[in-house]
Structure 1
Amino acid sequence: MLRNAPKFYEVAKRIVEITEDCIVVAHNSSFDYRILKTEFQRLGFPFKRKTLCTVELSKQLIPDMPSYSLGKLTRSLGIAISDRHRADGDAKATVKLFKMLLNKDLKKEIITQTVKTEHKSKIAANLKSIIEELPTETGVYYIHNGDGDIIYIGKSNNIKKRITQHFTGTNSKSKKIQTLVSSVTYERTGSELVALLKESEEIKKNKPILNRALRKTIFTHALYQFTDQNGYINLKVDKANREELPITTFTNRQSAKSFMHSIADKYELCQKLIGLYKTNSSCFKYEVRECAGACVQAESTENYNKKVNKLIEFHRYDNKNMLIIDRGRYIDEKSVVVVENGIFKGLGFFDLNHQINNTDVLLSLITPMSNNKDHQHIIQSYVRRHKKRLKITTF
């Protein structure tokens, strides 16, 4: 059903048109509304509508039901539902349920009270004054308590916006921050890569009480290679707990899976040999003539392995000496991240008005930082996502 479905941006305009001046009714409306808002945010469009939830209405107007899931509730009320868990079937069932609820709400009091609009969180005066002093730039921020101790460290492409989210959030971490915060300091980095590396380093050094998650490793899965009995290089995603050096690493399995699908297309790799299609015979793409047939030894090992090695060379940086040049803190500045013999050495900034061509001079400007698996992952992941924009030179 999804394979030939339109992309969200193709239907976004129509969604705006049909919901204009309307109330969005849904069974568990907060979920559907959050999905819509997220997709519109990705398009840079502020989507704001009133919503009404038939789950909440049902609990008030039809109390003591054994379950308020759409399927069980409609079955209990004798509402016919076809195509369960399909958009059309669920929507029609929700309409029938909603009409029944409207009939039960004789005074229309509950309907009026249940319609929701987004509530803008109020920010305390002391927190407002902190936000006013913050920049809308990329960098690392440090949240301090009344004694000046760092209680949380984070990074953002917009420090002011991120701190505002902390100060208006309703989750447990945000509430603790709002209770304990006394001041916020920050360090501009210009580059998101520099911010990520600094954030990781600072958290490990300072161990803030509210940064429990990032004290540990931040990647869980990695991409490894092995050669099968037929001489073909195979790729495999596995948990990142081996001693073996990975090609690249990922924060979760889903991220790894998305990456594998993209490289299968980009490098014309066999789905079976990269672990996407489990079979004892040929892969699916070979059946539709989109795979050259390494899965059944129809493609030569030399030709196939050449493609795999091209991928490995592109993503792995062990034994490489390279300078990753990215944005600086100011217009006339660039940042540089240094990897020497596959080891992350540190980072720094240099002035564009005094272009430095001497690598030794450039290396003398960097601030030394520790080389660990988290930093390796951050660099690999960032370079993988931004390689077209970054300037990477070898030395």
Structure 2
Amino acid sequence: MEQQLYAVESILNFKSMPLKAYFFILFMGLSLLSVAQPRHIRLVDALSAENFAKHFNTDTVQLSRINTNKTPAGVFVAYRKADTLNFKHEFYKSFDGPGYTKVGLAFYARKGNDYQLSFHNDNAFYCESCNNMRDYSVSASSDTVYISISWGPNDFGQSEGYYFVYRPALKRWQLAEIHRSGSGDEGENHSEYMTYSKNTKVYLDDYYAESLPYDSTVITSQGISLNYKPGDYARLLRSLKEIPKNSLFLLPQVFSKDEAKYFMEAGLYEKQPENANPIYGKNVLMANEIGYFLEQANQLDGAQVFLDKIIARFPEREVAYLNRGDVFFKKGQSSYKKAKKDYRTYIALMNKRGLQAKIPQRIATFLNAQ
């Protein structure tokens, strides 16, 4: 009885609406119906973005990118979607148009030449103009989907990467990893990497890209973050030492060989453009400590970047040869020849300074065994 009264009251309220409000609701309802993605696509030609777009594109939904590599089960489609009206309307040619253009993701399961819509997520990326989104992409393997978003000004841009892994029991792609990096207004770089457990309730078909990085209910399983300014050796060393020991195995995710090179070269261009080597007397100690820290954390390629520069600039610095020799030793048998050369140089320099007693016994043991 209460439900019937509520229904009657709703009808009366609807009839008493202003005519303008009525047409607005009717318009929005028709708009929502009109922007649906095609549910079924049959390809006669080969699978390609061009051929798929012929069947996919409408006045309100347009194919942006398609990923077909290593996805025999189907295809992932990044699409543009009109939030209101349609793309033929003058509004979408105006300055405000991109702000009302969603960029979403759909998956079409393949059955022969037929492709059936399995899901679509209108919030898988930012809207076209949100956060100055510059680039976005989707790539997939048999069980993993990688979503990439770049946004912000060119000089101080941010990048986000989301990894989703297929869970057969759920028949859904579940969030497994997030990698974020970028730079701030003062040139500070930050990088963050997080992994998630199978209990995480975030899935490819309904996650919200703009809010996910700030959702406090999504608990990470393991994570690591690093902040530094290129060329600022003291700050980098401090940030490295602040990383919890149980997270150090993730260090290559936030400070790779390329990032080590960038740290040194960007700092060089800012502070000493006339100098071909960014290592000098005032920072060589900290540079060596960074190289040693990275070697101890088994971030061997990054460690070698620092130690190579130190040795090139200060060829008499014996400890750098010891540290680099340890890097080559840890890299395995294929690098033993390089390790042996560095250890011998280290011994010669220590003998030259009368410091034979401080040479670790393990060095002599290794050389005698070769």
TM-score range, shorter chain: under 0.3
Higher relative contact order (CA 8 A, sep 6+): 1
TM-score, structure 2 as length reference: 0.23
TM-score, structure 1 as length reference: 0.22
Greater Rg over alpha carbons, structure: 2
